[in-house]
């Protein structure tokens, strides 16, 4: 058999997987597309191993390692997808950027009177002096 047939099939499988990774929004379909790409690489490894008539069959051995890594990747990937689906109710990749905790609009890192730590004062409000109060607080103390 010529090397062209498995190489062309491998290229088609890889391009199909690449399209699936770039165009899909569902995380499970993206994982399936990654698996398709890995199988295209495996097909290429075995085809070139047979074509080169390698005595050690290093292409086939590398294919076995790739299959083991792909199995571990799909197991961890599915666990992550299931955890995200339980928390968010969807497996849409576009909505995963909202997975971070929402930013508090009142939390300004450049506000010296903010209750949180700032860029200039990483220790936070514990090291603040009693004189470091907001102007409204000073005005309230003066009238009291």
How confident is the model over 58-103, as pLDDT tens digits? Answer: 999 999 999 999 999 999 999 999 998 898 888 888 877 665 556 6
Look at residues 70, 80, 7, 81 and name the one whose alpha carbon lies nearest to residue 36.
70
Which tokens belong to 61? Answer: 């051995």
Which has the higher per-residue pLDDT, 117 or 104? Answer: 104
* Tokens 């790409």 -> residue: 37
Give Cα separations from 131 to 107, 109, 122, 135 (angstroms): 21, 20, 19, 10
pLDDT at residue 123, as a whole number: 55
In whole angstroms, how far apart are CA 142 and each of 133, 136, 138?
12, 10, 6
Q: Which residue has the tokens 């003066």?
A: 142
Q: What percent of the chain has pLDDT over 70?
A: 67
């Amino acid at each position: 058999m010529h090397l062209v047939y498995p190489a062309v099939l491998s290229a088609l499988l890889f391009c199909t997987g690449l399209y699936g990774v770039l165009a899909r929004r569902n995380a499970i379909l993206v994982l399936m597309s990654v698996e398709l790409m890995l199988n295209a690489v495996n097909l290429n490894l075995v085809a070139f191993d047979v074509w080169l008539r390698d005595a050690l069959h290093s292409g086939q051995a590398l294919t076995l390692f790739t299959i083991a890594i792909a199995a571990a990747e799909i197991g961890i990937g599915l666990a992550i997808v299931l955890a995200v689906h339980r928390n968010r109710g969807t497996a849409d990749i576009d909505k995963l950027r909202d997975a971070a905790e929402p930013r508090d609009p009142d939390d300004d890192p450049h506000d010296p009177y903010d209750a949180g730590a700032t860029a200039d004062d990483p220790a936070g409000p514990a090291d603040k002096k009693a004189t470091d109060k907001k102007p409204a607080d000073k005005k309230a103390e003066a009238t009291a």
